[in-house]
Amino acid sequence: MKIGDVLKPGGRGVIGTASKAGVVNMAVYAVPHIVNAETVAWGMTDGRTWNNVRENPNASYTYFAPGEGFRGARLTLTLARTEDSGEMLAKIRERTAATSPGNPEAVKHVAYFKVTETRPLV
């Protein structure tokens, strides 16, 4: 399964993370930016998801494709790196301003993840 074939604009998903103590957090996230064939990136605020990935680099993302039915994918992720400035953060803030009611300046970080496994939603 190729990431670009699975993650379509307009879809939504849920990212799952856990702290180093194993306390789980789930959060609704938009489709990530596809960096290359095995890397995706999301903008993050200073919340639980950000705190968890800094403590524990393992995460998962369940993606629901737009439309009816159960189309989508389950991604297993490992944090590769983070950034607190730069071109990708600017792009993400721009996209946030256009699609979300929230303040784009609240997005403070970019988290890049290596996709270690891609499976169908169902």
Other CB atoms within 10 Å distance of the CB of residue 67: 9
Residue 35: predicted pLDDT: 96
Expressed as residue numbers, the domain containing 89 is 3-120
For residue range 18-57, what is the model confidence (pLDDT) as tens digits?
A: 999 999 999 999 899 999 999 999 999 999 999 999 999 9
More confident residue, 85 or 68: 85
Distance (Å, whole) CA 100 – CA 82: 22
Global model pTM greater than 0.85: yes
CATH of residue 13's domain is 2.30.110.10
Our count of domains for the chain comes to 1
